Structure 1
Amino acid sequence: MYGLSVRWSLEGVDPDVAQRLRAYVVGTSLERFSGMPGLRFKTWRMRPGEWFEGTYVWATQEARDGFAATFTAEAAESPGSRIVGAEPVLIEPFEVVAVAAGGEGFAAGPGPGPR
């Protein structure tokens, strides 16, 4: 499997950016990536005030590299960049060595929300 991380810095952004990112992911992005051809799964991760990241795992290197090329060309105009107010600080391909499904099983959908 083939991964791609896209990370934005949240240092110094307005405090409401974290909630706006949550709302965008749950209200729009989750549906867009659910069932996407070539994509095994996508995880959105965030440390409010520090960073926000999309982590993608693709079935093939071609699927990953094609998405990465398209995204990189449009990164400045992506919804994440518009919400954060800046381009990603990292767009990084990686190798997925293994994935283990835990005893609780794999769950898709929104996470716990703000603390």
Structure 2
Amino acid sequence: MFGLSVRWSLTSAPAGALEKLRAYVEDESFTRFASLSGLRFKTWRAREGEWFEGTYVFVSAQARQEFQDEFVAGAEQAPATRVLGVPPVVEPFEVVAVVRGPAGFRSAPRFEQ
């Protein structure tokens, strides 16, 4: 499988930036990526005061490259870039394996209400 990490620094983020990013994920990003062709899954991760990240896993190297090329071309206008005022670091990677534990996957609790 073919992964991509897109990470923004939160070290100099304005107050309330992470909450704005959470709202963006809930209101817009979650739905957009639920229908992205070639995407196996995406996670949004954050460490308060450190970083905010989108981690993507695609079905093929081609699907990853197409998304990466499109994203990089518009990275200056990405919602997280606009909120944080810094560009992301974009890194492709290989996913060696994924295991689904007995508890399964679930979306954020807010999406399951």
Task: Report how many residues are paired.
Answer: 110
Structure 2: how far apart are the matches of 1:111 and 1:95?
29
CA RMSD of aligned residues (A): 1.2
Structure 1: how far apart are the matches of 2:109 and 2:44?
9
Higher helix proportion = 2
Which range moved further: 76-85 or 51-60? 76-85
The two structures have a TM-score, normalised by structure 2, of 0.93
Structure-1 residue corresponding to 2:90: 91
Structure 2: how far apart are the matches of 1:39 and 1:13?
29
Partner SS for 2:108: coil
Deviation at 1:4, TM superposition (A): 0.1
Deviation at 1:111, TM superposition (A): 5.2
Partner SS for 2:6: strand
Amino acid at match of 2:70: T
Amino acid at match of 2:48: P
The two structures have a TM-score, normalised by structure 1, of 0.91
Structure 1: how far apart are the matches of 2:84 and 2:109?
20
Structure-2 residue corresponding to 1:77: 77
Deviation at 1:35, TM superposition (A): 2.6
Deviation at 1:99, TM superposition (A): 0.3
Deviation per residue, 1:73-115 (Å, 9 max, x gap): 1101111101111111x100000000000110121x3257xxx
Structure-1 residue corresponding to 2:5: 5
Structure 1, unpaired ranges of 5+: none
Structure-2 residue corresponding to 1:104: 103
Q: Residue 26 of structure 1 contacts residue 110 of structure 1 at CA under 8 Å; is this kept in 2? A: no
Runs (4 or more) in structure 1 with deviation over 6 Å come to none
Amino acid at match of 2:102: G
Amino acid at match of 1:46: A
Amino acid at match of 2:17: V
Report matched runs for 1:1-115 at 5 Å: 1-88=1-88, 90-107=89-106, 109-110=107-108
